[in-house]
Structure 1
């Protein structure tokens, strides 16, 4: 059944009887999950009982291990099935729950008065609409309003329960214990009147690069020159497609994008008004009018979508570009009677996309939060959803974060498991092994890891700490395709930072690209913006151009990149060997020769990526 959020609107009628109905089940309730609120969140009080929750029940997937095996085979350049991606029906067959799981869950819901529900395409997620009071009875819990120090508010609980016999059939239910805010991974926006160069900057000696690359701002022509996409003529127009994600009411502003393209990629200017805007769960459509006064004077919630669109359209024109806008409220000053929308946007988005038969082959995501803000069970299920995209042949790239290994002074570098131990803070979804995580670099000859200490910027104003996101997951073990490089890096540290990170965890980022002082148009004004929010759409664009070259040669698109990257693809990247990740009051992980958890394998060399990818696809049709 195709996922349709509109079906949820009538659920509340059937659900209200829960309040007056004793909970019935075959077995007693036991706690299913406990997840302490992270340190930056404060409990304000009980959530209003009539506040509505879109609950998503993640059922145990029947055969994810088999899907994972297929995914690894079609993504491994040494395997005979390389590039033979799966269809939507094949993927859904692997992950659909057993009849027993569905029957027992339905019995539990019906016995508690919940009679209306909708499903994800594989029926591995059940979606219901309940008020808080009904959800509390269903899950034997209490919901509260929590406020983040930045003003974000959520309705959440720290513990919830299920009948014992359902524990093996239900992986996760959200929103319950997830405090992930999915904030854009970007740094300061700076308005400028003229180029700026810091006193210690060394310009490139390469004349070709020095003509088009300056420290501030960095332009599309510079990216094209650095990564050798300049002059590439696309050969399969309309077939290779690329998309970017917008959450938290982010929306691209077409007049800003058009002004940017007129300046930096004139032949692409018309595409600002023709790229496709796809709205999910009442997300906002791309805006055809200039910024409103409120948007221009407000927060950062328009800039990320503009940055993604400007970078991708500037790099990939004339490819079709898709903007996915998934509903969800931005932060605001919370009121106990009007807390923010409590949706989980990744699930809304990925379930929508998985239902489509025609998906863009590259999708860029510039959002994330500290891994520990997400309960492990929920993180694993979202990560498995991303694996399904990979099996379909989609390259999903995610920004690695902008705080190095944690905040600058270490004030939040602690676990939230009640032990309050000092730790580096990995980011999610960058830590998921089924995404390709993108770090950031700066300067040009050579490129170094992106880092900026707090201090005066090009506009004469003080700007904050920024460092390419870096780390090792606590939730996801190191995948075998990292075994040849990650243990060697860990060994090279000689015990430094022992206890502050998980030596056996998935290391990230995988690769990197420019991420400081991108030329940018906001409110029809020339400006600049930084962050892995910039490097991620830039790297995604290069991958999409590789796909064009593959398609024109009759070969499959790249799909899930990581096995290819770690086996062979790294040879098509320029190794970055200078810098540190910083954060948590330390210099963080050092950049090193080969892979490192700051810049990954380095930055792309487009012609080499094409050459290697074509060679790897030979004989694997």
Structure 2
């Protein structure tokens, strides 16, 4: 958004927006080309209905980073004074001028008032237009595209807005966006989940080498081969029992068809955390989400089993863990569906779901969840960990900016949001890399950042490992076994002020020796990850057997458990939760409180990627948590 962040001026030339023309109209967005798997089917019928939705520019959104810094920076007098949802709604609601300008333009173009609807909290204006009307209004042409799965999608190549309307509209759907959710089922797919396993973006799930023979030592002697709870506690000094559990909860997000199996949780508990035997997470169903048992196997149970077995065990049986299970088996879900549920102002004020990307509820095609969409139905926990991601290039800049603003709002409310940074080094999910024209292929040479990892208002978590032959008392390295820690530099988001000193130091002393046309070398873009934690050789019970699991999917829930316990300690003495942690962890006050990782790389796109080195680096961030030091430092803050 214009409006949320200053987009980085790319040396890569991957997209063009708001290009002026000789007419009073300006180009708002333009698509590079049809994504892989899609083909042009033909023009949309001129009398068919197009559900146009205009995302209205929000007031004060340019200042959202400043507001967040005020409550998040340890030197601020307002540190920890988080906002209420009502304050956020009041501050960012689009202005009356914006609403009336767009309404007047629609009326002038022949849309009667009964066809123009402003959403309840004024975030969007909706109008059902014929194809002919929509094409005239936006100076475009609508086509129907067909996917190899049999699904169809409505899109245009580019669209335009009058120059006096453009400042009032962030973007319009459906238009150029090919971040398409394949929601409509083909006739032959009724028995299968709507999306590829590993929601929301395929390829972001953990990896495994399968089961293993032999037993696990009861001491710490085999942590270079098998990571268990004891290994993690020893690595990070994470010995803590909650004392204010009733005031706190730890949130973990899963997307159906990913689901845990209770017998797997019990198998893990029997061997490693007996107090949790028979205990299940507190499940919050979002848009029909449930612990499905129809499909089993690592692809369906691995992520959820991993997250809950380690998340629940590390915070102990005394602390409740909230499982947000998002989406049904048919429609699936996206990050926005979850955000709708935990923040009603996002659901209505921000405009609710984007039908090109998000699950739409009630299911418009039948067979899926037919209850009302979750809108402000779930309370956000103080820490929320998500081990799913997209490639930044999967989504449009406007879409990512709109969602990134919501993470900032959660931070303003005191919520710590963690996302795994990805498992393919400098490449994107499924090892896809960018081409100069913006497409993604296995043979691409341009580094492909992760989202939401590149959003400046979340904490991105990379992966480390205990090297073979080493112990938990020696330094870890970047993970280079089965997976590589995702990291690099955004092509969409500008560098936030809080990390400028750390990233400038890296670029000044360890500048990557790569051509400027394969990575964002401007020195002005958001860099990630922020921190890291172990991501290799986790012992996880999946479908009745212990297997070894790898990925930043391991690192994020482990980090979240530690931050949840830091919140516990602060809440116990009457202090606020830690909220958005990035300004604090990058501050001089917290220098040296993470274990610096100085060995390893994150290969991808035909290169060795970046290297881990002294200080922050785009492989392991600031390093791994030293829990006792972090706990003491956060307890000293107001």
Is the shorter-chain TM-score for this pair beyond 0.5, marking a shared fold? yes
Determine whether 1:451 maps to 2:483.
no
Partner residue in 2 for 1:217: 226
CA distance in 1, matches of 2:429, 2:380: 39
Partner residue in 1 for 2:289: 284
CA distance in 1, matches of 2:497, 2:77: 19
CA distance in 1, matches of 2:448, 2:551: 18
In structure 2, do the counterparts of structure 1 residues 449 and 46 end up closer, same or farther at CA, with 3 Å as the change threshold? farther
Deviations 1:443-497 (CA, angstroms, capped at 9, x unpaired): 1432111113xxxxxxxxxxxx621101001111111111211112112234511
CA distance in 2, matches of 1:398, 1:246: 12
Gaps of at least 5 residues in structure 2 are 1-22, 180-199, 345-375, 467-471
In structure 2, do the counterparts of structure 1 residues 528 and 47 end up closer, same or farther at CA, with 3 Å as the change threshold? farther
Partner residue in 2 for 1:323: 323
In structure 2, do the counterparts of structure 1 residues 178 and 216 end up closer, same or farther at CA, with 3 Å as the change threshold? farther
CA contact (8 A) 1:186 1:529 kept: no
Shift of 1:228: 1.6
CA distance in 2, matches of 1:483, 1:185: 28
Alignment of 1:485-500 (within 5 A): 485-494=502-511, 496-499=513-516, 500=518
In structure 2, do the counterparts of structure 1 residues 438 and 363 end up closer, same or farther at CA, with 3 Å as the change threshold? same
Determine whether 1:75 maps to 2:96.
no
Alignment of 1:543-562 (within 5 A): 543-562=563-582
Partner residue in 1 for 2:343: 354
In structure 2, do the counterparts of structure 1 residues 485 and 188 end up closer, same or farther at CA, with 3 Å as the change threshold? same
CA contact (8 A) 2:116 2:125 kept: no
CA distance in 2, matches of 1:51, 1:401: 40
Partner residue in 1 for 2:59: 62
Alignment of 1:361-376 (within 5 A): 361-376=382-397
Partner residue in 2 for 1:308: 307
Deviations 1:169-221 (CA, angstroms, capped at 9, x unpaired): 11123454444453362342333142599xxxxxxxxx99734x533432122
Determine whether 1:507 maps to 2:527.
yes
Per the alignment, in what secondary structure is the counterpart of residue 402 of structure 2? Answer: helix
- Shifted more, 39-48 versus 244-253: the winner is 39-48
Deviations 1:555-613 (CA, angstroms, capped at 9, x unpaired): 11110010001003343211111101111111110100111010001111111111011
Partner residue in 2 for 1:268: 276
In structure 2, do the counterparts of structure 1 residues 557 and 311 end up closer, same or farther at CA, with 3 Å as the change threshold? same
Q: 1:161 aligns with which of 145, 159, 173?
A: 159
RMSD: 3.5
CA distance in 2, matches of 1:609, 1:588: 30
Deviations 1:518-540 (CA, angstroms, capped at 9, x unpaired): 22222222222211111111111
Partner residue in 2 for 1:569: 590
Shift of 1:52: 9.7
CA distance in 2, matches of 1:250, 1:47: 37
CA contact (8 A) 1:250 1:284 kept: no
CA contact (8 A) 2:422 2:429 kept: no
Per the alignment, in what secondary structure is the counterpart of residue 491 of structure 1? Answer: helix
Per the alignment, in what secondary structure is the counterpart of residue 592 of structure 2? Answer: helix
- Shifted more, 137-146 versus 527-536: the winner is 137-146
Q: 1:526 aligns with which of 542, 546, 549?
A: 546
CA contact (8 A) 1:37 1:158 kept: no
Deviations 1:337-385 (CA, angstroms, capped at 9, x unpaired): xxxx5x8722222233122494200011112122122111111111111
Determine whether 1:601 maps to 2:636.
no
In structure 2, do the counterparts of structure 1 residues 270 and 362 end up closer, same or farther at CA, with 3 Å as the change threshold? same
CA contact (8 A) 1:372 1:416 kept: no
Per the alignment, in what secondary structure is the counterpart of residue 529 of structure 1? Answer: strand
Determine whether 1:34 maps to 2:44.
no
Per the alignment, in what secondary structure is the counterpart of residue 484 of structure 1? Answer: helix
CA contact (8 A) 2:463 2:535 kept: yes
Partner residue in 2 for 1:189: 208
Per the alignment, in what secondary structure is the counterpart of residue 569 of structure 2? Answer: helix
Shift of 1:325: 2.8
Shift of 1:252: 3.1
CA contact (8 A) 2:484 2:603 kept: yes
Shift of 1:509: 0.2
Shift of 1:504: 1.7
Determine whether 1:478 maps to 2:484.
no
Shift of 1:137: 7.6
In structure 2, do the counterparts of structure 1 residues 156 and 439 end up closer, same or farther at CA, with 3 Å as the change threshold? farther
Deviations 1:2-53 (CA, angstroms, capped at 9, x unpaired): xxxxxxxxxxxxxxxxxxxxxxxxx986542112247644325349879999
Shift of 1:397: 0.5
Determine whether 1:94 maps to 2:91.
yes
Partner residue in 1 for 2:122: 123
TM-score, with structure 1 as normaliser = 0.79
Deviations 1:208-260 (CA, angstroms, capped at 9, x unpaired): 9734x533432122212222223x12110121212122235433333333332
CA distance in 2, matches of 1:419, 1:549: 45
Shift of 1:411: 6.6
Shift of 1:441: 0.6
Partner residue in 2 for 1:240: 248
CA distance in 2, matches of 1:131, 1:263: 62
CA contact (8 A) 2:391 2:449 kept: yes
Partner residue in 2 for 1:11: none
Partner residue in 1 for 2:416: 395
CA distance in 2, matches of 1:328, 1:94: 34
In structure 2, do the counterparts of structure 1 residues 236 and 428 end up closer, same or farther at CA, with 3 Å as the change threshold? same
Determine whether 1:228 maps to 2:237.
yes
CA distance in 1, matches of 2:246, 2:123: 33
In structure 2, do the counterparts of structure 1 residues 195 and 475 end up closer, same or farther at CA, with 3 Å as the change threshold? farther
CA contact (8 A) 2:220 2:230 kept: no
Deviations 1:297-318 (CA, angstroms, capped at 9, x unpaired): 5x72443233222221121232
Number of residue pairs aligned between Structure 1 and Structure 2: 545
- Shifted more, 138-147 versus 320-329: the winner is 138-147
CA distance in 2, matches of 1:520, 1:133: 55
Per the alignment, in what secondary structure is the counterpart of residue 157 of structure 1? Answer: strand
In structure 2, do the counterparts of structure 1 residues 530 and 495 end up closer, same or farther at CA, with 3 Å as the change threshold? closer
In structure 2, do the counterparts of structure 1 residues 393 and 194 end up closer, same or farther at CA, with 3 Å as the change threshold? same
TM-score, with structure 2 as normaliser = 0.77
Shift of 1:78: 0.4
In structure 2, do the counterparts of structure 1 residues 514 and 195 end up closer, same or farther at CA, with 3 Å as the change threshold? farther
In structure 2, do the counterparts of structure 1 residues 404 and 225 end up closer, same or farther at CA, with 3 Å as the change threshold? same
Per the alignment, in what secondary structure is the counterpart of residue 597 of structure 1? Answer: coil
Shift of 1:72: 0.6
CA contact (8 A) 2:80 2:579 kept: yes
Deviations 1:147-170 (CA, angstroms, capped at 9, x unpaired): 48xx69672535343541432111
Per the alignment, in what secondary structure is the counterpart of residue 635 of structure 2? Answer: helix
